[in-house]
Structure 1
Amino acid sequence: MNTKYIDLIDQTYFFPQEEFNLNEGNLQFHGIPLAELTAKYGSPLKFTYLPRISQNVARAKNWFENALRKHNYKGKYQYCYCTKSSHFQHILHEALKNDIHIETSSAFDIDIVEQLKRDGKIKDDTYVICNGFKRAQYIENIARLINEGHQNCIPVVDNYEEINLLCEAIDDSFKVGIRIASEEEPKFEFYTSRLGIGYKNIVPFYEDQIKNNEQIELKMLHFFINTGIRDNAYYWNELVKCLKVYVRLKKICPSLDSLNIGGGFPIKNSLVFEYDYQYMVDEIINQIVLACSEADVPVPHIFTEFGTFTVGESGGAIYEVLYQKQQNDREKWNMIDSSFITTLPDTWAINKRFILLPINRWNEEYERVLLGGLTCDSDDYYNSEQNRNAIYLPKYKKEKPLYIGFFNTGAYQENIGGYGGLQHCLIPQPKHVLIDRDENGNLTYELFSEQQKSEKMLEILGYSKKDKTNNTKMETIDAAEEN
């Protein structure tokens, strides 16, 4: 009988795959020997494989270059990285190796941009696309960047008041974009996105606040769908509506020359993942060409803001199965040495799926299990709802440690989980290792952060501060008594 875990995978999926293969019964990810990685650094463990970031940027650029060539497209393509997916320095440094641009979401993003400029990672001609609702600090930071000479900073107007606020803060002329408030899918609880300005109001808004303002030059129309770039009637319908607005606006606004279609490329979340990226890019470019040709207006330059696609497939998390609890005749709970709520918050917050595979013991028998985290919260688990199929893993054996890995977790998890801060039930943030390749293609490892210490949490909670205050008081009393 085929009862080994490797037999189950062979019967269910095409395996090995581009990023996954086996070596002596142990899993490798992009050639990384995960069993050796775990033996060296222990678990729980987060890791980032930096080369995957550059690979995905190159893939997307190639798809767009192919489509532009195919359609004899006269505009240019600009790849922007959406920083909110991961703000870490090592992520930005790797992404910016590839001659790309930046999209920001809030005030402190601009501080990061300015630091990257000082480090020589961002140049004066790098586009900085500023999205999001802009409060005073965000306006001030954008204005500072533009006033200091970064002319390719383009704030994308999200509401009617932002034009006046920007004009007051910026010394000279500047460029802006306008975000379209797209209509949501019927299953949403609301009809229109809270972000941007409605389709019907774009042209009146331009004529009222921008057209006769000599300080402002409208350069970009911004379009984004929350559910991402998908081959369905909803996406294509919204894109066509966006293009109708673009051509109407272009006819009365010659300076408008760019269309930002946002982000939304999916990443691999299963061993049966299928998505035809090249087809989708071809069809997007085709729709733009058709709309502009019919309206007799020039095609726009194309901007994208890929965040999850850029960084998601670079990340992974490794856990050890500590114990198995047989709660009834059917349910076996494998307890991991960390918490899903703290380290993979998307798994419980939005039922996000990640690829789950064992690191070792592939040549042993398997069983069906549920996975539980260490916290006392009933939501701290991972089961078939997130995994699409039932979870099967090599059988738990107390004397033979079992390690499991979650893959393509590189986007949002650290930001949402509160990296370096308080964690649910005070479960510590795990170690984080950066993995790269040198000029000869050999793997290199760098410990980015140790596992979180209790002292750091106590300091955040105020205990260390209280102790210091008490110590100061005692020292004052002692000094007074001596005098």
Structure 2
Amino acid sequence: MNTKYSDLINQTFYFPQEEFKLNKDNLQFHNIDLLGLVEKYGSPLKFTYLPKISENINRAKGWFRNAMEKNHYKGNYYYCYCTKSSHFKYVLDEAFNNNIHVETSSAFDVNIVEKLIESGKITKDTHVICNGFKRAQYIDNIARLINNGHENTVPIIDNYEELELLQEKIEGKFKIGIRIASEEEPKFEFYTSRLGIGYKNIVPFFRKQIESNEGVELKMLHFFINTGIRDTSYYWNELLKCLKVYISLKKECPSLDSLNIGGGFPIKNSLAFEYDYQYMVDEIINQIKIACEEADVDVPHIYTEFGSFTVGESGGAIYQILYQKQQNDREKWNMIDSSFITTLPDSWAINKKFIMLPINRWNDSYERILLGGLTCDSDDYYNSEQNLNAIYLPKYNKDKPLYIGFFNTGAYQESIGGFGGLHHCLIPQPKHILIDRDENGILATEIFSEQQTAEDVLDILGYGK
């Protein structure tokens, strides 16, 4: 009878997979000995595997290069990293080793861009796409960047007032884009995105505020879908509506030459994840080319803004099962040595699922359980896996420590959880490890941040003053 945890995985999924395999009964992630990592650094533990960031950037570049060659597409492709997914220096340092561009979403993002310029990570050839709703500090920072000579900075106009505010601060002529307020999926509580300008209003806006304005040059139309780039009738319908706006605008504005198809690629959230990235890119490029050829206008340069896709699959979190509580005849609660609210806020805030696997004891028998965090909040739990609708783990044994890992957690979790700050029930932020490889593929690890201490937390609360 197949009763081992490894049997369960093998009969449910194709396993091993590219990033996951076993060494005896211990899990490896990109050939990293995870149990060895825990033995060296302890748990709870967060880690970032830096090479995965560069790998995903170059995968996407390859897909667009292949699609443009296949379709004889004459425009260029520009990969932008949207910093809101993870602002950490180690992420941006790794990303900008790959000749990419950047998208900002708030005032302090521009300060990060200036730091990257100082360090040489960003040059004058780097395109800085400034998105988001802009008010005084953001306007000032964008203006400072442009006035200091970074001419490839392109503020994306989000509302009718922003252009005038920018012109008051920026010296000389500068480039701009316009964001389309796309319509949301029918399941949303509202019909139209709060960001951008409506489809029908963009050409009139151009005629009124831009056409005869000698201080600006319209270069980009920005199209963003909140649910990302997916093979759905909703996505293709919105893309075609966007292309109609681009064509109408292009016929009146020759300087318009770029289309930003914001909204990212999905990342792997299950061992059963399937997504044909190359097909999607091929079809997007093909649809753009067909629409432009039929309208007899030049195809645009293509920009993408990939945040989660860039950094998400580089991250992970490891916990130890501290104790098992049998709460009734059916529910067993495995308690972890941290909090989901603290370390994986998306798991409870938006019910986001991550890949969850045990780190060790794969050859032990398994049981169905629930996972609970350390806070006294009823929402501090993780209760289902994609495609399984339950959590199965090797059976709890107080004499045999069990460690579990959550994978592809690298986007948003630190910023939403509040890195370096206070957390629910004062559960400390765990130790964070950076993992890299040298030119010979040799693994190297270093501590980015230690686990919070009581003194760290008390200082924030004012008790240390």
Q: 1:124 is matched by which residue type in structure 2? A: K
Would you say 1:4 and 2:1 are equivalent positions? no
| TM-score, scaled to structure 1 | 0.96
C-alpha distance after superposition, 1:271-314 (max 9, x if no partner): 00000000000000011001101110000000000000000000
386-395 or 400-409, which deviates more = 386-395
Residue 106 of structure 1 corresponds to which residue in structure 2? 106
Distance in structure 2 (CA, Å) of the matches to 1:331 and 1:220? 55
Distance in structure 2 (CA, Å) of the matches to 1:184 and 1:245? 17
Residue 280 of structure 1 corresponds to which residue in structure 2? 280
Distance in structure 2 (CA, Å) of the matches to 1:439 and 1:97? 14
Distance in structure 2 (CA, Å) of the matches to 1:385 and 1:266? 17
Residue 251 of structure 2 corresponds to which residue in structure 1? 251
Would you say 1:260 and 2:252 are equivalent positions? no
Would you say 1:390 and 2:394 are equivalent positions? no
Residue 233 of structure 2 corresponds to which residue in structure 1? 233
Aligned length: 465
Residue 321 of structure 1 corresponds to which residue in structure 2? 321
C-alpha distance after superposition, 1:250-277 (max 9, x if no partner): 0000000000001320000000000000
| TM-score, scaled to structure 2 | 0.99
Residue 205 of structure 2 corresponds to which residue in structure 1? 205
Cα offset for 1:244?
0.0
Contact 1:127–1:153 (CA<8 Å) still a contact in 2? Answer: yes
Over 3 Å counting, the alpha-carbon distance change for 1:71 and 1:153 in structure 2 is: same
Residue 137 of structure 2 corresponds to which residue in structure 1? 137
Contact 2:210–2:216 (CA<8 Å) still a contact in 1? Answer: yes
Contact 1:354–1:387 (CA<8 Å) still a contact in 2? Answer: no
Contact 1:262–1:304 (CA<8 Å) still a contact in 2? Answer: yes
Would you say 1:416 and 2:411 are equivalent positions? no
Distance in structure 2 (CA, Å) of the matches to 1:388 and 1:150? 50
Residue 174 of structure 2 corresponds to which residue in structure 1? 174
Q: Which aligned segments of 4 or more residues in structure 1 are displaced greater than 4 angstroms?
A: 385-388
Q: Secondary structure at the match of 1:464?
A: coil
C-alpha distance after superposition, 1:188-215 (max 9, x if no partner): 0000000000000000001101111101
Q: Secondary structure at the match of 1:61?
A: helix
Would you say 1:97 and 2:89 are equivalent positions? no
Over 3 Å counting, the alpha-carbon distance change for 1:411 and 1:285 in structure 2 is: same
Q: 1:415 is matched by which residue type in structure 2? A: S
Distance in structure 2 (CA, Å) of the matches to 1:347 and 1:123? 37
Cα offset for 1:459?
1.4
Cα offset for 1:385?
6.6
Q: Secondary structure at the match of 2:262?
A: coil
Q: 1:258 is matched by which residue type in structure 2? A: S
* Superposition map of 1:1-400 within 5 A: 1-384=1-384, 388-400=388-400
Over 3 Å counting, the alpha-carbon distance change for 1:331 and 1:224 in structure 2 is: same
Cα offset for 1:143?
0.1
Cα offset for 1:90?
0.2
Q: Secondary structure at the match of 2:249?
A: helix
Cα offset for 1:389?
2.4
Cα offset for 1:464?
1.6
Q: Secondary structure at the match of 1:223?
A: strand
C-alpha distance after superposition, 1:200-239 (max 9, x if no partner): 0000001101111101000000001101111010000000
Q: Which has the larger radius of gyration?
A: 1
Contact 1:156–1:177 (CA<8 Å) still a contact in 2? Answer: yes
Q: 1:294 is matched by which residue type in structure 2? A: E
Q: Secondary structure at the match of 1:3?
A: coil
Q: 2:32 is matched by which residue type in structure 1? A: I
Cα offset for 1:456?
1.6
Residue 464 of structure 1 corresponds to which residue in structure 2? 464
Distance in structure 2 (CA, Å) of the matches to 1:59 and 1:72? 20
Residue 441 of structure 1 corresponds to which residue in structure 2? 441
Q: Secondary structure at the match of 1:324?
A: strand
Q: Secondary structure at the match of 1:40?
A: helix
Cα offset for 1:18?
0.1
Contact 2:433–2:446 (CA<8 Å) still a contact in 1? Answer: yes
Q: Secondary structure at the match of 1:241?
A: helix
Cα offset for 1:387?
7.1
